[in-house]
Amino acid sequence: MLGKEFGLPTTSYKIFSEEITRGTLFFSLSMILKKIDPRIRESAHLGNWLVISQGRSHGSRGYIEHVRYLKDVMHKTYDRRTVLLCEKIDGEEEVPANVQAIILIDGTDYPDVLAHVSVRARNLKVLFTVCFEDGINQELLGLVGKHTFFAIEGNKLRF
Alpha helices in the chain (DSSP H): 2-5, 10-22, 25-44, 116-124, 134-141
Q: Which residues, in sequence order, are bridge partners of residue 158?
A: 151
- How many other C-beta atoms lie within 10 A of the C-beta of residue 44? 8
Annotated catalytic residue, options 45, 75, 116, 147: 116
- 116-124 and 10-22 helices cross at what angle (nearest 10)? 130
**Residue 66 designated active-site:** no
Torsion, Cα of 32, 119, 147, 59 (10° steps): 100
Return d(Cα 151, Cα 159) in angstroms, integer. Answer: 7
Q: So which residues are the catalytic ones?
A: 116
